[in-house]
Structure 1
Amino acid sequence: MNATAGRPRRPIGELTVEDMRLLIGQDIGLPYLLPLALKVLRDNPMAEGDMYEGDLLSAVLTRNPAVWAESSGLGRELRVIVSELIDLPLDLQQKVERFLIQ
């Protein structure tokens, strides 16, 4: 099933945090969406879609490590963002730790 089935198409610049979370979680358009997501996360690392606080960060952190190898600049930027976070919920903290040891 197409991730955008039943949803109106919109320009990439008009995607919501929830749109990005869903698409990134399905590995759709990562070369285009990860830079946008990191821009959001720079301003608000705990940006929230429709699930829970930090759900965009969770989607970004759990991409295949190969994604970050291909986009090392983005990976470095994400490392900077997460290295400054404190008092994260346990589940999100574990995702950060797994990302950092990749």
Structure 2
Amino acid sequence: MDHLLHLDRTLDELDPPRWTSPAADATDLMRKVHALRHVRLREFGPADLRVLVSQQVALPYVLPLAVRLLLEEPLLDASFYPGDLLLTAVRAPASAWSLLPDLNAVLRAVIAALPDAAVADLPRGGAEELARFVTRPETLR
């Protein structure tokens, strides 16, 4: 299955029900997430994907987009530091990755191929998180 078939559609179209407007007292983060649900998938940048994945919004549609970027540049700096999108992706729930086993395998291979020196520059615990993702038992992938 091609996970990138819907690039001209929005998350509100693909991931029902459509969200109502954020509450008046919503945080800036929640306003950002609500706004991103109205953006066409092809227009998402790395920072947008990091936000959506970290908030676990429409992961079957968002994770494939993140993985596509990570295949080109695994330690991409999406907002805060090199590798932030990668660490956000591996923190996605195992249940989301179980829906995307082919992408899970591809991302695990990309992570396994990273040089130790590159991974050493990740924030504290980052290298361990990547190692856990790569070696997670099949039933949890």
TM range (shorter): 0.7 to 0.9
Q: What is aligned with 1:20? A: 49
Structure 1 window deviating more from structure 2 (36-45 vs 89-98): it is 89-98
- CA-based RMSD: 1.9
Equivalent residue in structure 1 for 2:64, among 10, 35, 38: 35
Structure-2 separation of matches of 1:30 and 1:8 = 12
| TM-aligned CA deviation for residue 6 of structure 1 | 5.9
Structure 2 unaligned blocks of 5 or more: 1-25, 137-141
Give the % identical residues. 25
Residue in structure 1 matched with residue 110 of structure 2 by the alignment: 81
**Which protein is bigger by CA-based radius of gyration?**
2
Higher RCO, 1 or 2 (CA under 8 Å, sep at least 6)? Answer: 1
Give distance in 2, aligned partners of 1:82 and 1:21.
Answer: 17
Unaligned runs of 5+ in 1: none
Aligned twin of 1:65:
94
Q: Provide the aligned length of Structure 1 versus Structure 2.
A: 102
Q: TM-score, normalising length from structure 1?
A: 0.88
Deviations 1:2-40 (A, max 9, x none): 452466942111111000000000110111111111110
